[in-house]
A and B are shown apart, each in its own frame.
Chain A
Amino acid sequence: MSGKNCRCMCQENDDKHPFAQLDPVIDLYKDKEGSLIQILHIAQELYGHLSLELQEHIAGRLNKPLSEISGVVTFYSFFSTKPRGEHVIRVCLGTACYVRGGRKIVEALQKTLDVDIGETTEDGKFTFEVARCIGACGLAPAMMIDNVVYKQVNINKLDSILSRY
């Protein structure tokens, strides 16, 4: 079930029909029993997140109440109602990293990026999260940006790491 990876609005959509790209998908699955979750997966692939407008659109096309769609979207952790950043920063706060200053890194990032944990920066570049343990305890304090693990992160070097993105 892989859709396209782009996160921006594509050409086929336009201001009047912002979700036009999704409509053929909805129609394909409309009559299959219980396919809402599949539709939502594809929608999120196409648009990056499931905004209220998108949920309303899907509800309308499937002829279901918005509350039902919204109820499903908010239940599952895979679905996001807020835009996700281009890159996801995960600071590890497992025990080894915590003791080696993981919290200071969290505080520093909160200040530099002006975001709280779980939120995305204004410019949509970074989503900031905390991880339980990414298993790189020998490299504490550790941080991941997308799939790259940064080891022994130094607060003073944070700016140079972020500037690579």
Chain B
Amino acid sequence: MDEVKIKNIADLEQIKEAYDEKTASCRYQVLVCSGAGCVSSNCGQVRDAVNDELHNLGIQDQTLLWETGCMGTCAAGPVMLILPERIFYTKLTPETARQVIKAHLVDGKILTEHTFYDYSLEQHVPKIDDIDFFKEQVRIALRNCGIIEYDSLDAYVSKNGYLAAAKAFTQKSPQEVIDEVKRSGMRGRGGAGFPTGVKWQAGHDAAGERKFIACNADEGDPGAFMDRSILEGDPHTVIEGMMIGGYAIGANMGYVYVRAEYPIAIDRLTKAIEDARRRGVLGENLFGSGFGFDLDIRIGAGAFVCGEETALMASIEGCRGEPRQKPPFPFQSGLFQSPTIINNVETFASIPEILLKGGDWYAGFGTEKSKGTKVFALAGDVVNTGIIEVPIGKPLGDILFNIGGGMRDKKKFKAAQIGGPSGGCVTRDNLNTPTDYESLQKLGAIMGSGGLIAMNEDACMVDTARFFMDFIRDESCGKCAACRIGTTRMLEILERITQSEGEEGDIELLEELGEAIRDTAMCGLGQTAPNPVLSTIRYFRDEYEEHIRDKYCQASVCASLFISPCENTCPANINVPGYIRLIAAGRFIDAYNLIRQENPFPAVCGRICTHPCEDKCRRRTLDEAIAICELKRFAADYAYKNEKPYAQDVVFPRNGKRIAIVGGGTSGLTCGYYLVRIGYDVDVFESEPVAGGVLAFGIPEYRLPKKVLQHEIDLIARAGVNIHLNTEVGKDITFKALQSQYDAIYVATGTQFPEKVNIPGENLAGVIHGINFLKSVNLNQHVDIGKTVAIIGGGNTAVDSARTAIRLGAKKVIILYRRTRDAMPAYAQEVQAAIEEGVELVELVAPVRFIGGRGGRVKGIECQRMQLGDFDKNGRRKAVTIENSNFFIDVDSVIPAVSQYSDLPFIKKSEIGVTPWGTFIIDDKTMMTTMKGVFAGGDVARGPDTVIRAIADGKQAAISIDKYLGGKGKMNKGAPIEMPDNFSDDEFVEHNRFAIDELDPDKRKNSFDEVDLGYHKIRAMAEAMRCLQCDRR
């Protein structure tokens, strides 16, 4: 097409018509994304393959092939959009791109397997307008990105490009332009949020022989890539925005300051400027208005501080990028001592639309004080990382979960960093916060440039603060002492803390330093430098304290503070890499003994532990986590079969002191075991006829055979613990008697009582609460389950009850849960196993009442449907009732399993500190209750929690009790076990976890046989050899 020189609005219209005609003449348009992310993913090869395929198929003349700017889904690249059907293809390779082209353009078929995959919905969504990621966006600054050819001025004009400028220059006065911008409520999008209209007014009113307008495209924040996407996808909108700004303030010359790290943006903008000059939209007498404007690019040279406006101007002038005092402000004296107005790329990109559609239109988006839309760069641990634009004020949770697709790998959200190194973090309990300037400031964060980094539970907030401070100290220009010295000192403290040298008082020192720097630094870099530190201290002070006092990093990031992530995460600190190494070396009994140094229930834990260690296993980043739990079971089972029948734990000589333990469950038995080994006499009082607590009553046989449990309890008894069954404290022996006869008492009675659902009909026959149901079954008592059973709840007790009901012969078993499957607290594998066995899961439903029938037995449930609403304090969406959605289901039995509580009938509440929800108040360190000499742990102190936590508590209580009675708190771990040195220098080969055999679902649902069949010796050793041995340095 011949190049039309643009002299007036009519020329623009002519170009637009011709371009639209050409577009309409082609049956298909194929848009290949050429944003920076896709470029790195080799979209060039994809584009070449598409071009080649079009020629092969002979349809290149009927198809438009466009390279566009960033479409936004950077994690799914290379991507391609095909019009007119608007089908969005992702993760393309040259081969799959060819297949897609042939299928779509020739065969008329859509290959859905290559379209966008929504991980929350677990399905492909081919049409771009149906995809949640796009549905919730309002693209104004990004209006052309991903839609037009990034290097075609005609394409830009076809979308009304340069029309706003032409109309402004020929039909409006500068003041009218400024008034329109004021009406829009636009605030600077670089981070400070200063009202743009007010800024332009100041520029307009300033006196000066010449004036300048500048665009800040330095974008130095780590995690921010919005501005580059605009420059690379729609450079002309920035040019047009700047010329309109120039017109408004009276500047004929503009500078775009682009950081040197963006060569693609520099190239594309340079070409756009050259095209604009050649076609007459840059230069003299634009659109016949008499107003002339030109643009120059200035490249940075790797200095973050040059994003600060005075430093930026110094850099444009070819000087050191050092900020200076304000006043004078740039609009008074800026570039080359002339009035200068500086705005961010995103601000300029929105200006043409604001002028075309009117300020009032733009002000229709956003909140009262923060109008319009904002571009965010979503990065970090979310599924859909990329570029988005949403109305200001959208709740953070909506951005992260609806658009961002939630956290990757189903990890839990921990915090989001907004505003980069100048910003702060927003936590789980603030997910409903609207993302507008004021609300974020109240939380101690800032809107910033738009970088939004999501962090999951594997992030250490102290290390994150250290990372940002390291960056800032590196980038500090050095001019003012506050920043130059202050950031260095703050960094030193943070580094000490993350390297296990934190000291008492460090947190207070960081706060004091931070406030001093904030108040005295000369420029924005220094003034905001302490923000990430102060913000993380505000919301995660306990993490700082753990690093300093306990030398503990809960996220297993600060390597100096732990041996390996698995050992660090285990509440009982089992030497995981040690026992795995022993298994790999074939020394299974030694592995078993190593585990028992920290945990007397290896066979139990090897079957039912929640294994938080596996979630942190570093092997996950390669292929799959090591099967740490399964290997523990293997070692324990091997020892059970092969150990000498009378193997005995070494026990210290008696020291004459006596300890009473109330409750013969996991925690009580663990405490007793460790105490007996260092010489105490221990009496455990258990009210039931069988010891084990939850292990014996709450966990079904098919998960934990009672024989296995009894063996480990027998070993504990054999070590010397006296277990008195059928003895209830408060009935068979008083608590006062214990206090007088024993030197210390450990209470570990668990949470035995089921919470009520509290709806009518809960007392009907046939309604039996989960833990009571499971206990009856485990005690071999008869339970009349009927044919149709409904379970209420989503935790492990609910799922255990469901799978037990199936095995008892119920024909139909359904679980009614208030939220969705991914929010269920039960282990995912258990839920999966239940569904495989035929249990039906009904999501988003809550019971309203149980309906009684003949003989006072339940015959049905009235239910209500739920939907997901705002986020609660734990970062899960609350379930909200849907009015008038009631419906009925017929059932013979109902098993409510909605949490448990503890009750302590043997101690008067007035004598001992108890929390509002019935658990003991205990000292964090010593685990002593408010009653001297009485300690508590496990569920009775924590509420319903895990078995491994109860074991850790029991062990800790033993240490505390020993110290309380004058001992050193040192446990008897038996003879030291020599570690093999079998580290292989060979390169690692990717290999998924060695498979674990299970009983077939159809067979296993009719019996209580153990479902998980464990490892064979060969597989166990092979699996153990996959361990990366992170404890080696």
Contacts and interface: CB of A to CB of B under 8 A. Distances in A.
B303 A99 contact: no
B559 A99 contact: yes
Given A41-B299, A99-B559, A34 B622 contact: no
A40 B557 contact: no
A75 B303 contact: yes
Interface stretch (B5-13, B48-56, B134-142, B317-325): B317-325
Contacts of B559: 95, 98-99
A138 interface: yes
Interface string B917-959: 0000000000000000000000000000000000000000000
A55 to B, nearest CB: 14
Contacts of A40: 301
Nearest to B1032: A101
A154 B300 CA distance: 38
A78 B318 contact: no
Contacts of A77: 301-303
Contacts of B318: 33-37, 72
A149 to B, nearest CB: 13
A41 B297 CA distance: 14
B1028 A37 contact: no
Nearest to B259: A78
Contact of B301 (A2, A37, A152): A37
A78 B301 contact: yes
Nearest to B261: A78
Interface in B281-304: 297-303
Interface in B575-590: none
Nearest to B297: A1
A138 B617 CA distance: 11
A17 B988 CA distance: 55
A139 B467 CA distance: 21
Nearest to B463: A95
A76 interface: yes
A41 B266 CA distance: 14
A76 B316 contact: no
B1032 to A, nearest CB: 8
A38 interface: yes
B421 to A, nearest CB: 13
B1030 interface: yes
B476 to A, nearest CB: 12
Contact of B321 (A35, A41, A76): A76
Contacts of B621: 96, 137-138, 140
Contacts of A98: 559
Interface string B462-482: 010001000000000100000
A95 B556 CA distance: 10
Contacts of B300: 37, 76, 78
B987 interface: yes
A100 B1030 contact: yes
Contacts of B131: none
Interface string A57-101: 000000000001001100111110000000000000001101111
A154 B263 CA distance: 34
Interface in B641-663: none
B883 interface: no
Interface in B813-869: none
Contacts of A38: 298-299
B315 interface: yes
A39 to B, nearest CB: 8
B1033 interface: yes
Given A1-B299, A137-B621, A95 B321 contact: no
A1 to B, nearest CB: 6
Nearest to B623: A138
A101 B1033 contact: yes
A40 B318 CA distance: 10
Contacts of B622: 138-139
Interface in B590-646: 618, 621-622
B298 A99 contact: no
A95 B557 contact: yes
A156 interface: yes
Nearest to A104: B1033
A154 B303 CA distance: 35
Interface string B958-1002: 000000000000000000000000000101100000000000000
A156 B463 CA distance: 32
A154 B299 contact: no
B572 interface: no
A33 B985 contact: no
Interface residues of B, number: 36
Contact of B987 (A71, A95, A152): A152
A156 B297 CA distance: 48
B303 A76 contact: yes
Contacts of A152: 987-988
Interface in A145-159: 152, 154, 156
A34 B301 CA distance: 14
A75 B321 contact: yes
B65 interface: no
Contacts of B263: 2
A68 B320 CA distance: 9
A156 B321 CA distance: 45
Interface in B981-1033: 985, 987-988, 1028, 1030, 1032-1033
B408 to A, nearest CB: 14
B690 interface: no
A96 B317 CA distance: 42
A137 B449 CA distance: 28
Contacts of B270: 1
B906 interface: no
A50 to B, nearest CB: 11
B119 interface: no
Interface in B315-372: 315-322, 335-336
B764 interface: no
A71 B320 contact: yes
B801 to A, nearest CB: 39
B709 interface: no
Contacts of B316: 34
A37 B557 contact: no
Contacts of A99: 559, 618, 1030, 1033
B260 interface: yes
B474 to A, nearest CB: 9
Nearest to A138: B621
B260 A78 contact: yes
Contacts of A140: 618, 621
A10 to B, nearest CB: 22
Contacts of B467: 132
Contact of B320 (A75, A100, A154): A75
Contacts of A35: 318
Interface in A101-160: 101, 132, 137-140, 152, 154, 156
A71 B320 CA distance: 7
A1 B271 CA distance: 11
A154 B622 CA distance: 17
B125 to A, nearest CB: 28
Nearest to B471: A132
B561 to A, nearest CB: 12
Nearest to A103: B1033
Interface string B382-425: 00000000000000000000000000000000000000000000
B409 to A, nearest CB: 13
Contacts of B1032: 101
A34 B303 contact: no
B469 to A, nearest CB: 13
A27 to B, nearest CB: 16
Contacts of A75: 303, 320-322, 477
9 A-B pairs with the lowest CB-CB distances in the bound complex, closest first: A36-B318, A76-B301, A138-B621, A77-B302, A78-B302, A34-B317, A34-B318, A78-B301, A75-B320
14 contacts: A1-B297, A34-B335, A36-B319, A41-B260, A41-B301, A75-B320, A77-B302, A100-B618, A100-B1028, A101-B1032, A137-B621, A138-B622, A140-B618, A152-B987
